[in-house]
């Protein structure tokens, strides 16, 4: 039995809702592959969520909590705890020239993999010199390999 089938593996695909037209085809292809994983029972569950181009930083403390999706805070926290980098995929910069508030620009596509409920795979991410793309994560899942990269 493959590693992914021995554990309860779920995936969450996050797509930028206002993606440039050149990226929409890639988003559709990735969405179809994730849906196929669910239909083929390669994963226990797959969901697709949409997020905006940018959000306030979750630890900013300067705005309402609902301005930053829960999943973004989780991604940043897990990356910090596990010593991986989400840059340049998630980019932070000042909201304006005269403001200390920071905004976070979100990637066009992000794949989160949960093993037994815990975030075990984050694509895209950089760990040391190794870069893990969304394509890498989907290929691992399609092959029945362990999707853990963080």
| Both tokens assigned to 105 | 């620009």
For residues 9, 31, 90 and 148, what is the CA-based torsion angle, rounded to 10 degrees?
20
Task: Check residue 76 and give its pLDDT.
Answer: 93
Residue 96's pLDDT is what? Answer: 74
Q: Is the pLDDT of residue 146 over 90?
A: yes
Topology given in CATH for the domain delimited by 3-142: Glutaredoxin (3.40.30)
The domain segmentation of the chain, as residue ranges, is 3-142
**What are 103-118's pLDDT values in tens digits?**
899 999 999 999 999 9
The residue assigned the tokens 């997020």 is 51
* More confident call, 27 vs 57: 27
Q: Given this model, what pLDDT does residue 67 score?
A: 60
């Amino acid at each position: 039995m493959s590693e992914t089938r021995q554990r309860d593996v779920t995936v969450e695909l996050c797509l930028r809702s206002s993606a440039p037209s050149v990226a929409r085809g890639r988003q559709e292809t990735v969405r179809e592959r994730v849906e196929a994983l669910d239909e083929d029972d390669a994963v226990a569950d797959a969901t697709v969520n949409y997020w905006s181009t940018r959000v306030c930083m979750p630890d900013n403390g300067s705005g309402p909590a609902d301005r930053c999706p829960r999943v973004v805070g989780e991604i940043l926290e897990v990356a910090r705890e596990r010593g991986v980098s989400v840059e340049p995929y998630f980019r932070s910069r000042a909201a304006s020239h005269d403001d200390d508030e920071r905004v976070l620009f979100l990637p066009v596509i992000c794949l989160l993999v949960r093993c037994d409920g815990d975030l075990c795979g984050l694509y895209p991410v950089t760990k040391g010199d190794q870069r893990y793309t969304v394509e890498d994560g989907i290929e691992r899942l399609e092959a029945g390999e362990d999707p853990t990269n963080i």
